[in-house]
Amino acid sequence: MKRLISEGLAKARNAKRFWVCTWILIGLSLLQVLLNYAIDKHSPSFSESKSDVSSVIFGMLGNQSLFMAIVPAMFVVRDFTQNTVRNKIICGHSRTSIYFAHLICFDAVAMFYHIVATLSSLIFGLALLGGADSLAHGYVAYYCVHSVLLILAYASMTMFICVLIRGVSGAIIAYVINTLLSTFGAIAMIALRNHEKLVDLIKCAVLDMQTTELLTGIESPGEYPSMFLRVAMPLFALSYIIALPIIGVRIFNKTDLK
């Protein structure tokens, strides 16, 4: 499996779209900081509502699922469209090792994007907005840990869908499904608005909604998620990370590769 992982990472590293997405993320990080700076500067209450680095450092998390949906096309989908996955099996690699090698590569690239986006926002935010002391807040530390779980959960879901569909459309559908889940989740929350616990469970179950809850807490101190959400959301994210690869491997092992 080590060889498969090395090959997968090399493919990603040498792919032009990988670096294009990296620079787009850096550019978007700068743009969000500049927008915050411009809004603060032209706000009538500039001195009272000034943004700081903590309000932008994780602002790209919600956009990263789009870039992560592009990643599988580099090495997951291409293995099926070019039929190289059969060659790997013929060479003696098990389907389980192929699946997990792809997943580890995907996780590595996804975490690279997350680190790039976070560090870019941190550097630009400190330079233009300041507020380094706000980073010592306990919620920021909680967010750092939870954001990693969210990224890995997004990766597990996208990988699972790409293996199910085994085509270029899989990467696109993976992103669309996240959006649809958020839409249906929002509708369900409206219908169940009188049932607080069920609403909280929906927020935990939908990854994009977890992201929204976290970003709201960062951008609006005093509006942190409840203690139930702060405990349950990481557990739900962890269930994606563990359950989807297990199910995905079982399906992949029974798939007829033509």
Radius of gyration of the chain (CA): 20
Query: Which amino acid is present at 22?
Result: T
Task: Report how far residue 73's alpha carbon sits from residue 249's, in angstroms, rounded to the nearest whole number.
Answer: 19
Distances (CA, A) of 152 to 16, 47, 117, 215: 23, 38, 15, 18
Q: Interior CA angle at 98 toward 234 and 2, to 5°? A: 90
pLDDT 10s digit of each residue in the chain, 258 long? 888 888 888 888 888 888 888 898 899 889 988 888 887 777 655 445 567 787 788 777 767 767 776 776 667 777 777 778 888 888 888 889 989 998 998 899 888 988 998 899 889 888 888 777 777 677 778 888 888 998 899 889 888 888 888 776 777 777 788 778 878 888 888 888 778 888 888 888 888 888 888 777 666 655 667 788 888 889 999 999 999 999 999 988 887 766
For residue 72, how many other CB atoms are within 10 A of its CB?
25
Task: Report how far residue 36's alpha carbon sits from residue 82's, in angstroms, rounded to the nearest whole number.
Answer: 45
Residue among 181, 105, 108, 178 nearest 148 (CA): 108
| Predicted TM-score (pTM) of this structure | 0.86
Residue among 70, 71, 88, 66 nearest 79 (CA): 88
Give the list of residues 6+ apart from residue 234 with CB closer than 8 angstroms, or none.
145, 146, 149
Query: Which tokens in the block code for residue 161?
Result: 């869908």
Neighbouring C-alpha atoms within 13 Å toward the C-beta of 114: 23
Burial of 182 (0-12, 13-18, 19+ CB in 10 A): middle
Give the list of residues 6+ apart from residue 206 with CB closer than 8 angstroms, or none.
181, 182, 185
